[in-house]
Amino acid sequence: MNQDSYSHYLDYAQKKLQQVGFEKSLCSLSSDYKQELNVENGVITLLRSGSDRELYLSGIIDRKKASLSINDLSHSRIDSAITELLHMARGSEADDAYDIAPAQPAGVFTAGPQQADLDAMYDSLSSFLTYLKRHHPDIVMTECSLDYTRTHSRMVNSNGIDFTETRGNYNGSAMFNAKDDHGITSLNYTGFMTFNLDQPFHQFGSIEQLLRSAEAELRARPLPAKFTGDLIITPDAMDDFIGFLIGSVTDGPMIANTSLYKDQLHKPVTSHCLTLKSLPLDANMPNGYPFTSDGFKAANMTLLNNGVLESFLLTDYGARKTGQKRAVNEGGCMVLEPGDQPLAEMIASTEEGVLLGRLSAGAPADKGDFSGIAKNSYYIKDGEIQFPLTETMVSGNMAAILKSISDVSKEVVDFGDCRYPWLKAKTVNFS
């Protein structure tokens, strides 16, 4: 879809929204083009390509708001969608907090490769399969894929904003377990994003570490006895813990007044060891974004600075509802700053604990209490990794764990869409 087509559809939709009576409106049109290679039973079996497009419509009338998305861009479908949108808005509740972004200078943004290097994609996967056979013969690769995705999007509103972005990147994923004559392990999975296929597939993200872990888990054993000790959180498990804090300062819990952190702005909420940033404008973030979904130019942000909560993650609507300040971005692209202690020293200083590879658990309670199963994890005793664990229960409180962090590793795993070190927490229950 070319620029003229985008202008035509968006101009048509904006005019129709105004004609039917919407006082304020926002429209965005995005199109995705994907080329994907898949691996099945150790063989590259499929190269497929596809495209998708979506027109998002949002309007405000009499302090009432509605929004919807459509894929059919014919004038007749846009007309019927706007009629439906008007009916939805009139039937909704009025809210003084509804508004749209103010006028801002227009922007055109480009990031990443604008076309796929199919030869590089094939070579990357093919070399990975050869590497697996040579170095990890016990690995069973259930699913593996590498795709190139290019997204073109444009957003306009009735206040005059006009943002356009074209972004291309590569996405890799792998799901696997290990199997030998003695048994089989549970499935593990990981993925990465990148602008460039400039290193072997197994060196992206945590793939190599997880392959080794899967093979070791063929000798997994149960926990000797329940105990309370240290928890070393790997980068693969980090989102469960950091995600609790991030989710707690977004619109939903903040508006509902259930957030544990609602009165903690500019106060310490975690260990002083933690500095967490959201960097959508980082040149090395393939999933970055130059403008938010509600129509504001994005900026990089420090969420935690040495444990102090520097900002909530509120949209313009959330800010109006709570009386707080709107965040300068909408999260994602998270970077947890590394520390200065080698991971080996973190393990060596652990009297008893667990190295957590993955947490299988439901969402924690509003106050942070959780219980789950440690997957792909290891038992640590007297400063040494003893053996991989069969399913072991982990319980505690997310907020308390974040406050108890004593060490942050100097090593970092770059997944492309986030960068995380290892963290060491105190007083966690295992059984």
Residue type at position 409: S
- Please state whether beta strands 418-430 and 392-397 pair in parallel, antiparallel, or not at all (unpaired): antiparallel
Q: What one-character-per-residue DSSP string does 82-138 give? A: HHHHHHHHHTS---TT---PPP---EEEEES-SS--HHHHHHHHHHHHHHHHHH-TT
Instruction: Copy the structure tokens of residue 52.
Output: 């998708």
Between CA 248 and CA 254 the distance in angstroms is 7
Domains in the chain (CATH in brackets) are: 6-216 (3.30.2290.10), 220-430 (no CATH)
Inter-residue contact 415 to 335 (CB < 8 Å): no
Tokens representing 153? 């999007």
CB 364 within 8 A of CB 396: no
Q: Alpha-carbon distance 204 to 348, whole Å?
A: 27
Give the burial class of 319: count Cβ atoms within 10 A of its Cβ; 0-12 exposed, 13-18 middle, 19 or more buried. middle
Half-sphere exposure of 12 (CA within 13 A, CB side): 16
Alpha-carbon gap, residue 233 to 216, rounded angstroms: 18
Q: pTM of the entire structure?
A: 0.93
Among 149, 154, 169, which residue's Cα sits nearest to residue 54?
Answer: 154
Burial of 106 (C-beta count, 10 Å sphere; 0-12/13-18/19+)? exposed
Q: Digits of tens for pLDDT over the chain (431 positions)?
A: 555 566 788 999 999 999 999 999 999 999 999 999 999 878 898 788 999 999 999 999 999 999 999 999 999 999 999 999 999 999 999 999 999 999 999 999 999 999 999 999 999 999 999 999 999 999 999 899 999 999 999 999 999 999 999 999 999 999 999 999 888 888 889 999 999 999 999 999 999 999 999 999 999 999 999 999 999 999 999 999 999 999 999 999 999 999 999 999 999 999 999 999 999 999 999 999 999 999 999 999 999 999 999 999 999 999 999 999 999 999 999 999 999 999 999 999 999 999 999 999 888 888 999 999 999 999 999 999 999 999 899 999 999 999 999 999 999 999 999 999 999 999 999 99
Strands 43-61 and 24-40: antiparallel
State how far the Cα of 101 lies from the Cα of 295, in Å rounded to an integer.
5
